[in-house]
A and B are shown apart, each in its own frame.
Chain A
Amino acid sequence: MNIAELLPGLLKGLANFTLGNAVMITVALILIYLAVFKEMEPVLLLPIGFGCLLANIPLAGMTAAEGIMGVLYNAGIKTELFPLLIFVGVGAMIDFSPLLAQPRMVLLGAAGQFGIFGTLMLAIALGFPLNQAASIGVIGAIDGPTSIFVATKLAPELLAPIAVAAYSYMSLIPIIQPPLMRLLTTKKERLIRMDYAPKPISQKTLVLFPIVLTLVVGLLVPDATPLISMLMLGNLLKVSGVVDRLSKAAQNEIINIATLFLGLAIGATMSAAAFLNFDTGKILVLGLIAFVLDTVAGLLFGKLMCVLSGYKINPLIGAAGISAFPMAGRLAAKTANDEDSHNFILMHAMGANTAGQLGSVIAGGILLSIVSKLV
């Protein structure tokens, strides 16, 4: 046997390695670096980064339909299983009592969704077809599972850049939001203290809320039902108080396993051929714009509520009306507390934040139902 004949066979991996693969492996290493050393959404960016690394090893076959990544993708992303399982866990972690105690916060949860529609229009102006533009707009839901859920249905070819934009900007919220908060509010507005004297929320209300909301949203926006119902199922497990084991499983094992596989499968779609193009760049820019628009709209609406309430509402809580639970709520509270160490608007900000979580799911569902009829 001639060694010279064997050599090409042994080196076929290297021979098929392209410049694009090298670029994408660099991207993967950057994502892993940010996750490990900067702790940016490590739970997601680490598996996404490793999935991306695997997707760019030529001839490994892992992303083929029968490879592990292909199996995960077909079983969990294409079917929307993983984002929905994540929502069961998110629901079990959310406490809706600050929202139930202050129902007017719902308005802020609606204002925080402006970025979805603003970005959608920008994307259309940039030449994206409606289904793709809508999927890009949903980055403005600032909610990973919702973005993935909608993009899978409307424009699966853009899933990877949309997920990467959604999760990386979410980890950058502490950098994106505070300058906007300070820019758009006056010092006096930030100093407004808010009383928190809610009526106590009864156990009955807490249990009825997820059931009623599932029915109402389900009947009005059927396309939002999968997301809202899984979110509410998780919440019901928590508030019922009788299935502590299931609630803990949802908050830990279920969401952790789903997150790991979702991250890996999304990362594995980041092959050089699919990811390295001009559209990805545009999506990353549009995603950032979506985050900014959400925050600005929320803050402006907060200012309007501030004036209408006779300066009783601190407009900073408007910035918490996006999804990104609980980071956005904590940031609004922290910004107010930094200004005045005796000012605590945490409960109000959390009310707006949970409203934003619901708002983003409902907005995603509305978008899905409108766009899927139009395309």
Chain B
Amino acid sequence: MKYSVTIKHKSYVVEIEDVNARPVIAHIEGQRFEVIPDTDPVGSAGKPEPITQNPTKNKKETKEVKSFDLRKPDPNQHNSELTAPLPGTVIELFVKEGDIIEAGQVVVIIEAMKMKNSIRSTRAGKIAEVLVNPMQTVAHKQVLVKFE
């Protein structure tokens, strides 16, 4: 899908491979960008409104997506904390209290079934508390870090 975006009187053509994919892959003037949208509605004051270049198509997509419950925030996933998406052992920890991290940044690596899984942050923010230690086993949905 191609979008036209005007920033400071200069217009850019942004080609997005798939808006539902994470990270969103965008091509702008031959350069490839990986963008992870901040899903936190509170911290997204500067988030641009969805571009409606093709209203009918967009409408359809929203409806489809809704039926899969994809964009509904997980009721157990509080935005103030990052939880383990699968059970396993924390083998590496990349953040400490007070770190300011970006959405999509790898926070911990959880090993499960002998496979290393990079757990990325779902939002940007400052880490208030780290609740796990390396080599600790974690249960599904156990809180890993809390945000301020």
Contacts and interface: CB of A to CB of B under 8 A. Distances in A.
Interface of A: 95, 98, 187-188, 191-193, 195-197, 311, 326, 329-330, 333, 337, 339-344, 346-347, 350
B47 interface: no
Interface string B104-132: 10000000111101101010000000000
B20 A346 contact: no
Contacts of B51: none
Interface residues of B, number: 27
B21 A344 contact: no
A95 B85 contact: no
Contacts of B21: 187, 191, 339-340
A347 B20 contact: no
B122 A95 contact: no
Interface stretch (B8-16, B52-60, B62-70, B94-102): B62-70
B23 A347 contact: no
A165 to B, nearest CB: 27
Given A196-B86, A344-B86, A346-B112, A187 B22 contact: no
Contact of A341 (B18, B20, B23, B70): B23
A72 B141 CA distance: 51
A347 B113 contact: yes
Contacts of A188: 20, 64-65, 68, 70
B118 A347 contact: no
6 contacts: A187-B18, A326-B113, A341-B22, A341-B104, A343-B85, A347-B140
Contacts of B114: 326
Contacts of A341: 22-23, 36, 104, 118, 120
Nearest to B77: A342
B8 to A, nearest CB: 32
Contacts of A196: 86-87, 140
A342 B115 contact: no
A347 B112 contact: yes
A127 B20 CA distance: 49
Given A187-B20, A341-B22, A347-B86, A192 B68 contact: yes
Q: What secondary structure prevails in chain B residues at the interface with A?
A: loop
B70 A350 contact: no
A343 B70 CA distance: 11
A347 B87 contact: yes
Contacts of B20: 187-188, 191
A204 B67 CA distance: 41
A197 B140 contact: yes
B67 A311 contact: yes
Given A188-B68, A196-B86, 11 more contacts: A187-B18, A188-B64, A188-B65, A191-B70, A311-B67, A311-B69, A326-B114, A330-B113, A341-B23, A341-B36, A341-B104
A340 B64 contact: no
B12 to A, nearest CB: 25
Give the 4 A-B CB pairs with smallest separation, nearest first.
A344-B85, A344-B86, A340-B22, A196-B140
Nearest to A337: B117
Contacts of B117: 337, 344, 346
A341 B23 CA distance: 7
B113 A342 contact: no
Q: Interface centre among B21, B67, B118, by most A CB within 10 Å?
A: B21
Contact of A330 (B74, B87, B115, B118): B115
Contacts of A343: 85
Contact of B120 (A192, A197, A342): A342
